[in-house]
Amino acid sequence: MTLTEQLETLISRTTLSVSTEQINLLIQYVELLHKWNKAYNLTSVRNPSDMVVKHIMDSLMVGEVLQGDNFIDVGTGPGLPGIPLAILFPEKNFVLLDSLGKRITFLRQVVFQLKLANVTPVKSRVEEYQPEIPFDGVLSRAFSSLNDMVSWCKHLIACEQGRFFALKGQYPHDEITQLPDNIELVKSYEIHVPDLTGERHVLELKKLA
């Protein structure tokens, strides 16, 4: 089975609507990631077929819960979940933030080759990055704890409509009890990623005024 056939089969087992053109872009991204990974060590996932499940599908399924138009993917690494989501939602804008130069170099190449007009890679530490306007949503699957995410990223969203979307494995009961008083859990979504073993959750959090 080709990577394209694999991805088409996996998407058919979800409620996602993904065009042939978008599937082609997602596969091109996997091929670039596989090629650059040999020299840049961007991900511990080495097999392109595994990347389709663990990176592409895992990122795309987050799309079911996103609200808003402008997002920042903090600690994006090689562009996850930002790049797959930007391909899925060409009408939304994504800033991909990472402090490592080699990752941003890779992401600029991805943006160039895939002609992604809605993606802006930025090299910066999160606490030093000052957006011109607050984002609708902060995405991350990089932070070790929810507390770290909300404390380091609180300046990136506004109180009323801004949201944190934290990608997690198992439901983090302990982390939720340790959240600051001014952060509220809006909702927890259990997402089902075809062929992926283990639980996946997206936690939607907001700042209180």
Residue 168, CB half-sphere, CA atoms under 13 Å: how many?
Answer: 22
> Binding site annotation covers 75?
yes
Are 44 and 78 within 8 A, CB to CB? no
The DSSP string of 97-120 is EES-HHHHHHHHHHHHHHT-TTEE
Q: Of all helices (H) and strands (E), which one includes residue 160?
A: none
Tokens of 173: 């009961």
Using DSSP bridges, classify how beta strands 201-207 and 163-168 pair: parallel, antiparallel or unpaired: antiparallel
Tokens of 6: 């694999």
Residues with Cβ within 8 Å of 4's Cβ and at least 6 positions away in sequence, in order, are 23, 24, 27
Are 94 and 71 within 8 A, CB to CB? yes
> Binding site annotation covers 127?
yes
> Binding site annotation covers 80?
yes
Amino acid letter, 95: V
Task: List the binding residues.
Answer: 75, 80, 126-127, 141
Task: List the binding residues for S-adenosyl-L-methionine.
Answer: 75, 80, 126-127, 141
